[in-house]
Structure 1
Amino acid sequence: MKNILAIDTATKLLIISLKSNGNYYYEIIDEGFTHSENIIPTIEKLLSKGNITIKDLDLLVCTRGPGSFTGLRISMSTLKGISLGLNIPLVSIPTLDVYAENINFDGIVIPIIDARKKSFYLSLYTNGNKITEDLDLPFNEVIKLLKDKHKILLTGPDSPLLHNKLEGEINTKLDVNRIDQYGINLINLGIREYNNNGPDKIDQGPLYIRKSEAEILHESSK
């Protein structure tokens, strides 16, 4: 596969990357949750840099979740439209796997996403292997989970937030230099997923590990 487009809109960062004829191109936009405004112009910009058209793409990749409910839908719906319209295969990858990929650390690696409401999405990895499911934990539960752990590396777009909150409670190291790598990680994981399992099923949707506000309000009204 020569040409792969990958998009991550799970957090406040819009990360779009392109592999074109062996070269990598990427854009990272940190303007809050303005993904719907920036996603198409940024795709067009990268295709131009790669000197290809959208019809030249061989594979589409996006993050599946956890993450922002609206953000996840933006990237997945955009790429599903391209996939169905141009018959290009689409695969989705668990978001936390992307942030934890390709880290050489002798200890526990924990990718972090701010889940709002004083909670965090996270999972634990050792030696490149995921050892927990994706978790949605309030801060006090995070402390309980990590209090007997040693050699902890926090990574992911929102890792500085948790690192600062844990200061004085849990000793952690902070991986702050990997944002540029996330897009390449997503491309490589997408290729691996497609080669191993083929494209997503047509009904594959985002992975939510928390109920939406609408679902909570609906249940409380019964």
Structure 2
Amino acid sequence: MNILALDTSAAVLSVALATGTDVWYFEVDGGLRHGELLMDVVDHLLGSAGLEPTDLELAACMKGPGSFTGLRIAFAAAKGLALSLGIPMVSAPTLDCMAASQAAWPGIVLPAMDAKKGRFFTALYRGGLREGAYRDASPEEIAEALSASAVRDDPVMITGPAAEMVLERLKPLFDGSLDQSRFFVDPLGKRGKARELLDIVKKMDIVEATQEVFSGPLYLRKSDAELTFKAK
């Protein structure tokens, strides 16, 4: 099955293309140029794989949380491809994809994205499975979750684009409830996760995904523009 997976949820843009047993991959730290670069990257991968857009059988993107603009870019591209080519579209939660790269970690995996305002989009995972809800959390709230009895003694791998920032914000909170030796930072946490997205969507029930073209991104909070408008 020819599957195209798009990740524009954070600073690094990544695209993965599965063609049977082969996977073609490209990533670039494009800053705020995801909208300009995305389709050029898609065309490059299709050309490298010897495919035409009409050869695609499934389009996938990150569901969120993540950059408001970035999520919309990938959703628009995936929906456009799905509708124009008559193929299904699916999406998968961004934090699930980030945690998937550390599924073998013998403890808690904490993917983190900068949610601004001193907060982070995050969740707790063990063995690739999420434990609890997706969070829009402060460092204090993250520390509280990591000091709970069920996870208090587990080593913690912090991954995702905000991993180093989270660890820095947690350092003042290291005391009797948080042992600094438990914490590790994924050195590849900032990389794009289109390959992990690809692996996740391969396991999905595609029949149930046909209505994804009518859905939208997962937001854990309203955008600054919405909050500003509401305040007025």
Task: Tell me if TM exceeds 0.5.
Answer: yes
Which residue of structure 1 aligns with residue 171 of structure 2?
Answer: 167
Q: Which runs of 4+ in 1 moved over 6 A?
A: none
What are structure 2's unaligned runs of at least 5 residues?
none
Q: CA deviation at 1:186?
A: 0.6
Count of residues in correspondence between the two structures = 220
Which residue of structure 2 aligns with residue 194 of structure 1?
Answer: 205
In 2: Cα distance, 1:54 partner to 1:200 partner: 21
In 2: Cα distance, 1:195 partner to 1:64 partner: 16
Q: CA deviation at 1:10?
A: 0.9
AA partner of residue 59 (structure 2) = L
Which residue of structure 1 aligns with residue 130 of structure 2?
Answer: 130
- CA offsets per residue over residues 119-175 of structure 1, 9 Å max, x none? 110000112221111100122322232234331111122212212333352421112
In 1: Cα distance, 2:189 partner to 2:168 partner: 18
1:158 pairs, out of 133, 148, 162, with 162
Would you say 1:58 and 2:69 are equivalent positions?
Answer: no
Deviates more, 1:146-155 or 1:182-191: 146-155
AA partner of residue 13 (structure 2) = L
Which residue of structure 2 aligns with residue 25 of structure 1?
Answer: 24
Q: RMSD of the alignment, in Å?
A: 1.9
AA partner of residue 163 (structure 1) = L
CA contact (8 A) 1:13 1:33 kept: no
Which residue of structure 2 aligns with residue 182 of structure 1?
Answer: 193
In 2: Cα distance, 1:165 partner to 1:199 partner: 41
Which residue of structure 1 aligns with residue 228 of structure 2?
Answer: 217
Which residue of structure 1 aligns with residue 47 of structure 2?
Answer: 48
Instruction: Decide whether aligned partners of structure 1 residues 200 and 186 sit closer, same or farther in structure 2, where only a CA change above 3 A counts.
Output: farther
Q: So what's the TM-score if we normalise by structure 1? A: 0.91
Percentage of identical aligned residues: 33
In 2: Cα distance, 1:176 partner to 1:89 partner: 34
Q: So what's the TM-score if we normalise by structure 2? A: 0.88
In 1: Cα distance, 2:12 partner to 2:51 partner: 25
Matches within 5 A, 1:10-159: 10-102=9-101, 103-148=103-148, 149=152, 150-159=154-163
Deviates more, 1:14-23 or 1:67-76: 14-23
Deviates more, 1:199-208 or 1:165-174: 165-174
Q: CA deviation at 1:201?
A: 3.3
AA partner of residue 164 (structure 2) = P
In 2: Cα distance, 1:73 partner to 1:181 partner: 17
CA contact (8 A) 1:115 1:136 kept: yes
In 1: Cα distance, 2:203 partner to 2:69 partner: 26
Instruction: Decide whether aligned partners of structure 1 residues 209 and 111 sit closer, same or farther in structure 2, where only a CA change above 3 A counts.
Output: same
In 2: Cα distance, 1:179 partner to 1:116 partner: 17
Q: CA deviation at 1:187?
A: 0.7
